Structure 1
Amino acid sequence: MKVLKGRDILALGFMTFALFVGAGNIIFPPIVGLQAGPHVWMAALGFLVTAVGLPVITVIALAKVGGAMDALSSPIGRVAGGILAAVCYLAVGPLFATPRTATVSFEVGLAPLTGDSPMALFLYSLAYFAVVFWVSLYPGRLLDTVGRFLAPLKIFALAVLGIAAFALPAGDVGIAEPAYAAAPFSQGFINGYLTMDTLGALVFGIVIVNAIRSRGVESPALITRYAIIAGLIAGVGLALVYISLFRLGSGSHAVAAGASNGAAVLHAYVQHTFGSLGSGFLAVLISLACLVTAVGLTCACAEYFSQVLPLSYKALVLILALFSLLVSNLGLTKLIMFSIPVLTAIYPPCIVLVALSFCKDFWQSQSRIVAPVMLVAAVFGVIDAIKGAGFADSMPHTLANLPLSDQGLAWLVPSLMMLVVAFVVDRALGKPSEALA
């Protein structure tokens, strides 16, 4: 029976970590650290729950069902599961996340050096997606190209930044913003939720499992074990990155006071600490982070759609790379504007799906529980999305002011209520065979 060697397991963990850490993951923590001030570590705790805990749990849930999202969504039926999977893959693939990796890496890393012109963005994105296309053509080699080469480079760059954050703080901790002074854990929790890494985990699950299979491992039990280990390694890596970036942000008050986003905090700190090399270092770091994530997303999307469309994997890689290239040239502002409402609507039912997958032994019938709770989560997720898109004034007052709606969690209370109702109905009906009898 084929098993992975220790170095292969470590490379798999590095690959999983590298797939998750995109530019958004690097930009969010510094601004939280800056704005949380002396409450930074309580905010960090909330952030880690949603930005590390949920993605790792999602990887584990997928590993238990073989890595494919359609296996995880089987309780809601083939059609609904297919629609959910397609929407998730498109959203975190060619429509939003993959193009955004190029625009973020350009605007954060290279625009300060080359100028923020449409031609500069086009030339950068053309070269960027050419590399994404070439690496993604060979998914069986992903463990080698990402796990053994790109991921270590990315980890090295992040390690340099993380060590510098603790060894060379730019100054003292500043005063907390009012929101963080009042509820630091809640604010951190919300910001971690907005990284959308759980959606990424749903997409990357099949990439991780296929990377294990590419080494000749066929045992489902071993595949699950290795995927869980990879998820845990990635979780530890993510936590270390986030903690160091929180420290970077909290100590940057003297050089980045008033910064409106994490990119500005990073620029200020790196320029202050590394001088003239700062911008170049940041450009390499962000580009590496985004490139690896883009490769993972492209491989995952091509793998999925090659199974449901009459197109080959390589043809889909080309189509996805070209489409992502076109969308990336819309610019970061428009991409974020379009993506936030859509992702806000998708996220709640996906969280429900992952959470309930661990409780399947408690139900008489999974479909009776998962389907109605996911439906309620989706409906109220759409309400959150409409409000987040700026249409709160046109909504009924009750819907616009649901419990936890200010935190983007208006779906949580109705979903829990639906879970209780579904559980009672499930118990009353008994097992499906008994109900038919």
Structure 2
Amino acid sequence: MNKLSKKDLVFISLMLFSLFFGAGNLIFPPFLGQTAGNQSWIAMLGFFITAVGFPVLGVIAVAKSGGLNNLAKRVNPIFAAIFTVLIYLSIGPCLGIPRAGSLPFEMAVSPYLPQGVSKTLALFLFTLVFFLVAYWLSLSPAKLVDRMGKVLTPILLILISLVFIAGVFKPLGGYGQPTGDYMASPFVKGFLEGYLTMDTIAALNFGIVIAWAIKSKGVKDEKVMVSASIKAGVIAGILLVIIYSMLAHLGATSGGRFGATENGAQTLTNVITYIFGKPGALLLAVIFTLACLTTCVGLITSCSQYFMTLTSKISYKNWVRILSLSSMTLANMGLTKILAISVPVLNAIYPISIMLIVLAMVDNFLKGNSTVYSLTILFTGVVSIVDALGQVGIKLGFVMDLCSKLPLYSQGLGWIVPAIVGLILGVIIKVVKEKFANNKLVESADIYAEIR
């Protein structure tokens, strides 16, 4: 079969949405709304770019390039090997998967533990059950569309919609005043908050899962697979915008009633408790767990499929076992430690991921030119890595002083101008080389004609 039915496309799109939509995606929009207040929609525009736009483009870029490794090889084979492994490790067993396992416990279970119950033991038991379920679901990637697209994702969407509709009939209040960075630059702050979803990086991983899902429906033609991947990415992106908007609105209306909170989990807890009372705690626990479980399964699946290509000695199922066990172990470090590590790592590799996607989108013009890719990624990476090192206390002297003078550096976007400069410089070199090569061909042709 060389055509994907509309029904299968919808279910694959729902599966992709669920892969993107973890607990982080659940708590960042309401916290943004609560903190940004009447500037929420300006901030959300920035958030949509990094939390929806680039993830969707990432799925398209990977589909059009035939995989993340092929895309990264346009920069350099060595870069491709290092960057691809780093992406899969950071979004997978080192950060993304443990975060997905610990978040639902910290946000929906820990606050309601009876006095005297050991939090350490409770976390271990919760993550044990959580990762056993994730392990079972990940063992059969061909069944992910049926299990996630047809069952888990619709349940999650219904529950979130229920909270939003209930909030409409039992309104919390009006939008409050913006605080912090949302007062001066709401768009930029929203743009940076989108980093924390990790979805642009995840999109580079999930391309392989979507390809497997489409193949499981009998599609073999590469053009049809690319087309279906693009359509699934767009549909999933539209769903993300709708759900994020609902959550941001709920958060914004909660600011006047509850005041400032420390994080989005508290914001969402206040909202759901106000609407549903104490039974809302159970609803919140189910929503958090489902959101994290679907993302966790997607990450385990994609990482296992990738690492399986690196060595034939370890099977897919064994990689699932290794990643599930190691992620459960790291999840028991606690959410605070995981987040402390994840922020600087994300700040280092997120800009590089964004520019790889941008380059892939204009590759019809670039034709995979390694000079353009290399210079763009080099200029981007130097600034983003220096910035990330500075966040963990590693100062690089004059290099950091030089970077700090870049436009938007203080706002966390110092890499943008160097990225543009690298791209333009690479294109100029490409055009000059092509013109020089064409002139050589003309001269050769003229000499040949004279000889004749």
Q: What are the residue-to-residue correspondences of 1:105-144 with 2, within 5 Å?
A: 105-114=104-113, 117-144=119-146
Structure index of larger Rg: 2
CA distance in 2: counterparts of 1:107 and 1:165, whole angstroms: 24
Question: Does the aligned pair in 1 maintain the 2:167–2:275 contact within 8 Å?
Answer: no
Which residue of structure 1 aligns with residue 20 of structure 2?
20
- Residue by residue over 1:127-160, the C-alpha shift from the partner in whole angstroms, topping out at 9 and shown as x without a partner, is 0000111110001111111111111111111211
Q: Distance in 2 between matches of 1:189 and 1:362?
A: 27
The alignment status of 1:340 with 2:343, answered yes or no, reads yes
Paired residues of 1:387 and 1:400 also in contact (CA < 8 A): no
Q: What TM-score does the superposition give when structure 2 sets the normalisation length?
A: 0.92
CA contact (8 A) 1:17 1:235 kept: yes
Q: Deviations over 1:153-197 (max 9, x none)?
A: 111112112323433321222122153232222222221233221
Q: 1:404 aligns with which of 405, 408, 414?
A: 408
For 2:150 and 2:186, locate their aligned partners in 1 and report how far apart those are by CA, in whole Å.
38
- Equivalent pair of 1:369/1:419 in contact (CA under 8 Å): yes
Q: Look up the SS of the partner of 1:430 in the other structure.
A: helix
Classify 1:70/1:436 alpha carbon distance in 2 versus 1 (closer, same or farther; 3 Å).
farther
Pick closer, same or farther for the CA change 1:427–1:260 going to 2, 3 Å. Answer: same
Counterpart in the other structure of 2:360: 357
Partner of 2:386: 383
The question of whether the paired residues in 2 share the 8 Å contact of 1:364 and 1:432 is answered with no
Residues 435 and 198 of structure 1: CA distance in aligned 2, closer, same or farther (over 3 Å): farther
1:326 equivalent in alignment to 2:325: no
May I ask how many residue pairs the two structures share in their alignment?
436
The one-character-per-residue Cα deviations of 1:395-437 (angstroms, maximum 9, x if unpaired) are: 7533345321222211111111111211111111118976997
The alpha carbon displacement at 1:98 in A equals 0.3
Aligned to 2:230: 228
Q: In structure 2, what residue type is equivalent to 1:358?
A: M
Give me the identity figure in percent. Answer: 38
Question: CA–CA distance in 2 between the matches of 1:124 and 1:434?
Answer: 65
Deviation at 1:3, TM superposition (A): 2.2
What aligned pairs does 1:258-277 form with structure 2 within 5 A after superposition?
A: 258-277=260-279
**Aligned residues of 1:364 and 1:431 also touching (Cα < 8 A):** no
Deviations 1:40-97 (A, max 9, x none): 111112211221111111111112233x211222212333212111100000000000
Over 3 Å counting, the alpha-carbon distance change for 1:316 and 1:262 in structure 2 is same
* 2:95 is aligned with 1:96: yes
Q: Deviations over 1:344-365 (max 9, x none)?
A: 1111111111101122232366
Q: Does residue 1:32 correspond to 2:35, yes or no?
A: no
For 2:406, what is the secondary structure of its paired residue? Answer: coil
Structure 1 Cα separation of the partners of residues 411 and 183 of structure 2: 16
> Letter of the aligned partner of 1:235 in structure 2?
G
Aligned residues of 1:150 and 1:292 also touching (Cα < 8 A): yes
**1:167-246 alignment to 2 at 5 Å?**
167-246=169-248
Indicate the RMSD between aligned Cα atoms, in angstroms: 2.0
**CA–CA separation in structure 1 for the residues paired with 2:68 and 2:215:** 17
The residue aligned with 2:58 is 58
Q: Any conservation in 2 of the 1:49–1:192 contact (CA below 8 Å)?
A: yes
2:150 alignment counterpart? 148
CA distance in 2 between partners of 1:175 and 1:393 (Å): 39
Aligned counterparts of 2:196 and 2:327: Cα–Cα separation in 1: 22
Matched residue type, 1:5: S
Taking structure 1 as reference, are residues 128 and 225 closer, same or farther at Cα in structure 2, changes over 3 Å only?
A: same
Q: What's the TM-score once normalised by structure 1's chain length?
A: 0.95
- Partners of 1:364 and 1:190 lie apart in 2 by 31
Any idea what SS the aligned residue of 2:277 has? helix
Q: Is the 8 A contact 1:346 1:381 kept in 2?
A: yes
Aligned to 2:418: 414
The answer to whether the 8 Å contact 1:364/1:430 transfers is: no
Q: Indicate the residue corresponding to 2:376 in structure 1.
A: 373
- Gapped runs of 5+ residues in structure 2? 442-452
Give the conservation status (yes or no) of the 8 Å contact 1:392–1:400: no
- The alignment status of 1:47 with 2:50, answered yes or no, reads no
Residue 424 of structure 2 aligns with an amino acid whose one-letter code is V
Distance 1:431 1:300 in 2: 42
Name structure 1 gaps, 5 residues minimum: none
Q: For residues 403 and 85 of structure 1, what CA distance do their matches in structure 2 show?
A: 29
Per-residue deviation, residues 277-332 of structure 1 (Å, max 9, x unmatched): 11110000000000000000000000000001231100000000000010000000
- In structure 2, what is the Cα distance between the partners aligned to 1:82 and 1:431? 32
Question: Does the Cα contact within 8 Å between 2:23 and 2:103 map onto a contact in 1?
Answer: yes
Q: Secondary structure at the residue paired with 2:188?
A: helix
1:300 is paired with a residue whose SS is helix
- Matched residue, 1:425: 429
Name the counterpart of 1:301.
303
Distance between the aligned counterparts of 1:87 and 1:316, measured in 2? 17
Equivalent in the alignment of 2:450: none
Q: Could you tell me whether the CA contact under 8 Å between 2:371 and 2:426 is conserved in 1?
A: yes
CA gap 1:431/1:359 in 2 versus in 1, 3 angstroms: farther
Is 1:285 the equivalent of 2:287? yes
Cα distance in 2 for partners of 1:387, 1:330 equals 24
